[in-house]
């Protein structure tokens, strides 16, 4: 097993930018402070997680601390041995690449030795990065020996209208994303190995800034560090992100240094001029 184990959120971070993952693991000093907005997001996520447990009532929860992965894996095995059919926060570890996953809900398919993986999100639709998140979780559980029937995403049903206490059965809807998850397994296999290699390096990976720095739904945590050489008003404020990345690779990020023909005209030119005058 590699020394550098990665979780699902670290996998998604590394998939978007290996340098962001390297910073996360090796440069704690660069980590942004948790602001009120981020904390509120965590709190909402926790509340949604609690409600989701009521959707699938009668389960048992793995309560080991987040750092105690080995203990959480053992607790999950014990619950299964004891015949539990619904396990919240069930945890598995990949036997080779050391990736680990703590799935929101692991649910036995009735009367069989197969399981469904269910991940809860506080959004109303399945996003692309949710598919990457679940693809990594499937990769871990499957390689840890679990027979997985389906991968389901549990999202908020936006047609739900609250009347009195929240009704978890009406609040959530389940979306079967198994096809997308299975289709991504080749990529997960390759990327998980590469990220393990990146984390073993003493030096941060050489990766340029670009469109990747704005991964949905939030921009990268390390913008302040990687972008300190970029003016407040740059090609990234004027062009679409992929185009800005292409232009900055060829001509740099400073608008005033762009050659004729690249420098925008019309309203954008006026914006650039007024910004130059005000600074």
What does the binding site for ligand SF4 look like in residue numbers (CB under 6 A)?
17, 19-20, 23, 207, 209, 212-213, 220, 222-223, 226
69-106 residues labelled b (16+ CB within 10 A) or e (exposed): beebbebbeebbeeebbbbbbbbbbbeebbbbbbbbbb
What residue spans of the chain are helical by DSSP H? Answer: 8-16, 18-26, 36-55, 69-81, 128-143, 168-171, 178-183, 185-200, 223-226, 235-238, 241-251, 266-278
Minimum Å gap between C-beta 41 and ligand SF4 is 19
Helix, strand, or coil (residue 118)? strand
Helix, strand, or coil (residue 123)? coil
Minimum Å gap between C-beta 244 and ligand SF4 is 13
Decide whether 172 or 236 has the Cβ nearer to ligand SF4. 236
Decide whether 241 or 268 has the Cβ nearer to ligand SF4. 241
Minimum Å gap between C-beta 211 and ligand SF4 is 9
Decide whether 17 or 235 has the Cβ nearer to ligand SF4. 17
Decide whether 74 or 221 has the Cβ nearer to ligand SF4. 221
Beta strands 60-61 and 86-93 are: parallel
Encoded tokens for 273: 């001029």
3-state secondary structure 74-102: HHHHHHHHCCCCEEEEEEEECCCCCCEEE
Distance (Å, rounded) from C-alpha 170 to C-alpha 156? 9
In terms of Cα–Cα distance, which of 217, 227, 220, 232 is closest to 276? 232
Decide whether 46 or 194 has the Cβ nearer to ligand SF4. 194
Minimum Å gap between C-beta 279 and ligand SF4 is 23
Backbone angles phi, psi at 149, to 5 degrees: -85, -55
Decide whether 177 or 226 has the Cβ nearer to ligand SF4. 226
Minimum Å gap between C-beta 67 and ligand SF4 is 24
Decide whether 25 or 173 has the Cβ nearer to ligand SF4. 25
Minimum Å gap between C-beta 14 and ligand SF4 is 10
Backbone angles phi, psi at 69, to 5 degrees: -70, -45
Minimum Å gap between C-beta 128 and ligand SF4 is 16
């Amino acid at each position: 097993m590699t020394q550098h184990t990665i979780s699902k959120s670290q996998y998604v971070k590394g998939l978007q930018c290996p340098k962001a993952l390297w910073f996360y693991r090796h440069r704690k000093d660069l980590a942004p402070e948790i602001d009120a907005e981020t904390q509120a997001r965590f709190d909402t996520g926790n509340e949604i997680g609690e409600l989701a447990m009521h959707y699938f009532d009668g389960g048992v929860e793995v309560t080991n601390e987040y750092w105690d992965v080995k203990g959480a894996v053992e607790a999950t095995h014990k619950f299964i041995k004891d015949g539990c059919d619904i396990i919240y926060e069930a945890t598995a570890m990949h036997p080779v690449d050391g990736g680990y996953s703590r799935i929101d809900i692991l649910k036995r398919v009735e009367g069989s030795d197969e399981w469904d993986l269910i991940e809860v999100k506080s959004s109303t639709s399945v996003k692309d990065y949710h598919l990457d998140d679940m693809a990594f979780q499937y990769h871990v559980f499957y390689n840890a020996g679990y027979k997985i029937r389906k991968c389901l995403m549990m999202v908020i049903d936006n047609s739900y209208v609250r009347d009195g206490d929240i009704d978890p059965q009406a609040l959530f809807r389940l979306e079967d994303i198994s096809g997308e998850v299975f289709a991504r397994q080749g990529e997960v296999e390759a990327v998980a190995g590469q990220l393990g290699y990146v984390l073993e390096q003493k030096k941060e990976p050489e990766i340029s800034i670009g469109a990747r720095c704005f991964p949905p739904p939030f921009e990268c945590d390390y913008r302040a560090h990687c972008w300190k050489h970029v003016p407040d008003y740059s090609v990234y404020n004027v062009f679409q992100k992929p185009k800005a990345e292409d232009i900055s690779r060829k001509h740099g990020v400073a608008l005033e240094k762009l050659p004729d023909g690249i420098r925008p005209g019309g309203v954008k030119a006026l914006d650039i001029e007024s910004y130059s005058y005000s600074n």
